[in-house]
Structure 1
Amino acid sequence: MQARIRQMQATRLDTRTIPTHPAIAGLLPGGGLKQGVAYSVDRSATLLMALLAAPSAAGTWCGVVGVPEFGVEAAAGFGIDLDRLVLVPHPGGQWLAVTAAVADVLGVVVTRPPRRASDASVSRLTARLRQRGTTLLVLGPWPQSEAMLSLSESSWSGIGQGNGHLNARQVTVTVTSRAGRPRSARLWLPDPHEQFRAVNVQREAYRQEAAG
């Protein structure tokens, strides 16, 4: 199975970055998600799905370990290929071993540690990621992460005159790397058409002014 999955990967292991949505790529060190390293994502399953969408659409197999609330319907809405998605919602006490095993065969792996891992365990997993060229996305802090991605200033729209419903959200995504100052951008997550993209600040300001 491992050989089959690796053959089906559309992303070559000798490439340092994997497909990354352009709305986020420019915020990340090196201009995109890198192979063989870990990233921390601060408590946002929606941002997590946005990060998975581009590599999944490009043919990369993805795995999600220890996140039972990860919704496949929402994932499909973001463009994640469910046929190339492996879910391990309840890894139990062996979450680190399960994460390492999944990282051996998949290109991008999501995990949420139920507790702090030992320094030795983190170092072993880091070495395995580097060897396999696997990108790890951790929900929460991670000692050796390349960068932390977080959301703030979330605002919903779509209510209208009281008879509508919330159908779009703007957020500020901030990437804090180990080297360099934090970078931020205002993004639709999602926009009124359920797309993930950067906010056109000037156009949005004009629209709000016209509406007011």
Structure 2
Amino acid sequence: MPGKPVRPPRPSWSGDGRIAGPADVRRLLRDVNAAGLSRDTTALATHLVQPAEDIGLAEADLARVLPAPPALAGLFPWPGGIRRGATVAAVGSTSLVIALLAEAMSTGSWAAVVGMPTFGALAAAEAGVPLEHLALIPEPGPDWPAVVSAAIDGVDIVVVTTPPTAADNVTRALINRARQKGTVLIPTSAWAGNDLAITLTSRTWSGLRQGHGRLRNQQTTLRAAGRGRAARPRTVTVAMPPHQAEWA
């Protein structure tokens, strides 16, 4: 008696497609699950995704951190990087967002970028962001809170640019959901209640002499302040040549 036909495995999310709404986010979560089932269960493997209603996060999981760029380590109040479940605003610099993503995803994490139609995938790839683990949701539409919420349930890091009219009660609900799920939330503007806000405060160039020559070095100053252990402002200045201006 012939056995049942075996279905080929579904392809995992490749990062090639763009997401237009909650239905596409649900498709992404299914594909992340399929990819997770095909991986070895090592410490670096991506966890399987479940809806928020079906799973809670243990205290031990909340205590874990995702890696942060070494040059920016002094900005974070948590030893070892960015605490899972934290909301860390990255204000004034898309390259800062990319740098945070590249380091945080370096151990196999998945991420989504919501509401940033001009996000440069090529620049992100050059900075080390694994595009096969990145979902782009450039135009989430009026139902953007539901899209962000679904992304929080399904990936490890969510970057979001919200409409100017976003209400504080909506952003606070997303902060609470990210904290519950252990997802790092990175808004590109400071939200009421975020754990930490990193802001590009100044950028200076050197190298020109008497109006001639080339710009040889850049100094970028970033300031971080937030709640609790992050209440005391911290500042770092990163010096780099122009072609390595990651946080410009």
TM-score (normalised: structure 2): 0.69
Aligned to 2:84: 35
Aligned to 1:3: 33
Q: Does 1:23 align with 2:74?
A: no
Q: Distance in 1 between matches of 2:107 and 2:124?
A: 15
Deviating more after overlay: 117-126 vs 154-163:
154-163
Q: Is the 8 A contact 1:173 1:186 kept in 2?
A: yes
Q: Is the 8 A contact 1:6 1:105 kept in 2?
A: no
Q: Does 1:102 align with 2:151?
A: yes
Q: Aligned-residue CA RMSD in angstroms?
A: 2.6
Q: Distance in 1 between matches of 2:186 and 2:130?
A: 17
Q: Does 1:176 align with 2:225?
A: yes
Aligned to 2:170: 121
Deviating more after overlay: 120-129 vs 99-108:
120-129
Q: Is the 8 A contact 1:187 1:196 kept in 2?
A: no
Q: Is the 8 A contact 1:156 1:168 kept in 2?
A: yes
Deviation at 1:128, TM superposition (A): 2.1
Q: Distance in 1 between matches of 2:208 and 2:125?
A: 25
Aligned to 1:186: 237
Q: Is the 8 A contact 2:113 2:160 kept in 1?
A: yes
Q: Residue deviations 1:80-125, cap 9 Å, x none?
A: 1111111011111112111111111110010011034344433432
Q: Distance in 2 between matches of 1:68 and 1:39?
A: 21
Q: Distance in 1 between matches of 2:207 and 2:137?
A: 35
Q: How many residues in Structure 1 have an aligned counterpart in Structure 2?
A: 195
Structure 1 unaligned spans of 5+:
198-212
Is the alpha carbon distance of 1:172 and 1:10 closer, same or farther for their aligned partners in structure 2, counting shifts above 3 Å? farther
Name the aligned partner's letter for residue 123 of structure 2.
Answer: A
Deviation at 1:29, TM superposition (A): 1.4
Is the alpha carbon distance of 1:183 and 1:67 closer, same or farther for their aligned partners in structure 2, counting shifts above 3 Å? same
SS of the residue corresponding to residue 50 of structure 1 reads helix
Q: Residue deviations 1:53-96, cap 9 Å, x none?
A: 11122211111000111101111121111111110111111121
Is the alpha carbon distance of 1:4 and 1:181 closer, same or farther for their aligned partners in structure 2, counting shifts above 3 Å? same
Aligned to 1:54: 103
Structure 2 unaligned spans of 5+:
1-29, 48-56
Decide which structure has the larger Cα Rg and report it. Answer: 2
Q: Distance in 2 between matches of 1:120 and 1:81?
A: 33
Q: Distance in 1 between matches of 2:179 and 2:36?
A: 15
